[in-house]
Structure 1
Amino acid sequence: MTRIETPWGPWEAAPLDEVVALMRGLAAPWWVAGGYAIELAVGHPYREHGDVDVALLRRDQLAVRRLLDGWDVHAAVVPQTLRPWALDEVLPEQAHDIWVREHPDGPWRFQLMLDEADGEEWIYRRDPRIRRSLAGLTVEEDGFHRLAPEVQLLYKAKGARPKDEADFEAVLPLLSDTQRRWLDEALETEHITHPWRERLRRMA
């Protein structure tokens, strides 16, 4: 794993299998997100990863915080600002990005993302018009779940970086007609002129 320096200390991401092993202790739904969600859909490594992202529903936040009792856990409550997340504290609605490390002097090891839901329906936090059944949000992978690639690409579409473009290129040929159509319609809602839309339609 690459070591990345940040204003809040270095990132040295834990191996994915170690994070998965830890999260198996959570008695609530969770799933691998970020670049690893795309790589798992592709089926083989094709780029380096600077972090490990795991997502869960906001309503399960206290369960994951208790799982991480003994870890150093910080939440981004204000953009570009981290502060400690106390045990049994309910985070404010604007907090959805959480950094985790073993102890305050060590590097950050993985990231948690809090997702929104209404009953059994997932709500895209950047545009609540975009929704999806929780049952179809993830794909099971070797006994754990990963975020469906078309949903992860929606997150990556905003201000797409070179690594996001690489993820789009890698998984695009593997998307079904239904997955491409869902992503195209979601992009039409949030990013109507996004360049990925034309490439999605060309694959049809």
Structure 2
Amino acid sequence: MTDKALAPDQELWRSWTPAELAVRLKTVSLPWCVVGGWALDLWHGEKTREHDDIEFTLLRDDFLEFRHALGDLDMYTAKAGVLTFLPVGQSPGLDIQQVWCFDPVAQAWRVDMMIESGSPEVWVYKRDGSIRFPRTEMLYLSSEGIPYLRPAAILLFKALHVRPKDEEDFHKTLPTLPDEEVAWLRRHLLKLHPGHHWITPS
């Protein structure tokens, strides 16, 4: 029997696609959305690059319902690079914002659950609680009906570290954005990251 206290290798990712994730969550009627690079590809309507993983957000109070929907997966809290097994039926502590989900049959990580604050009605930016909007303004739907975070907000998250893939995502996505999306991104970059090289002229 596998000792689940020993977390699997963190490189064993063979993630689901957004469509596969949506199938797994079809019985859940609570708020969730795809974030990260896959969210931008949902915006583009096609896969523009390879993705190491897939991330989606959910509200903390809803965790156990999502856990039930993904009940065949082993779950590990992720904090400061350390993965810790989360026993069946338990919710993560308030200091945890991320849970990785491992498929013991396929021996692969499938999805990264990101725990957000806010409410079913209000979306709150986790790095600055003063940035909040009606959830209906922040979530878009793909042509297949998959919810994802609006691209300007995805790029705002990516602006903090700007890895090569983030730079690639920015330059692919910016020309596709409507003026109001560019303005939203610019306004929040000026607030959080003044002087950032992604800030476009007004």
TM-score (norm 1): 0.87
Unpaired stretches in structure 1, ≥5 consecutive residues: 1-5
Unpaired stretches in structure 2, ≥5 consecutive residues: 1-7
For 1:139 and 1:119, locate their aligned partners in 2 and report how far apart those are by CA, in whole Å. Answer: 15
State whether residues 11 and 107 of structure 1, in contact with CA within 8 Å, keep that contact through their aligned partners in structure 2. Answer: yes
For 1:143 and 1:40, locate their aligned partners in 2 and report how far apart those are by CA, in whole Å. Answer: 10
Q: How many residues align?
A: 194
Q: CA deviation at 1:14?
A: 2.4
RMSD: 1.9
For 1:93 and 1:192, locate their aligned partners in 2 and report how far apart those are by CA, in whole Å. Answer: 30
State whether residues 74 and 98 of structure 1, in contact with CA within 8 Å, keep that contact through their aligned partners in structure 2. Answer: yes
Percentage of identical aligned residues: 30
State whether residues 122 and 132 of structure 2, in contact with CA within 8 Å, keep that contact through their aligned partners in structure 1. Answer: yes
Query: Are 1:45 and 2:47 an aligned pair?
Result: yes
State whether residues 37 and 169 of structure 2, in contact with CA within 8 Å, keep that contact through their aligned partners in structure 1. Answer: yes
Q: CA deviation at 1:70?
A: 2.6
> Residue 179 of structure 2 aligns with which residue?
177
> Residue 151 of structure 2 aligns with which residue?
149
> Residue 120 of structure 1 aligns with which residue?
121
State whether residues 42 and 170 of structure 1, in contact with CA within 8 Å, keep that contact through their aligned partners in structure 2. Answer: no
> Residue 100 of structure 2 aligns with which residue?
99
Deviations 1:142-199 (A, max 9, x none): 12211100111111111111111111111101212211111112112221121101xx
For the residue of structure 1 that corresponds to 2:118, the secondary structure is: strand
Deviant stretches of 4+, over 6 Å: none
What pairs up with 1:1-204 in 2 under 5 angstroms? 7-76=9-78, 78-103=79-104, 106-118=107-119, 120-141=121-142, 142-197=144-199, 200-201=200-201
Q: CA deviation at 1:46?
A: 2.1
For 2:106 and 2:11, locate their aligned partners in 1 and report how far apart those are by CA, in whole Å. Answer: 9
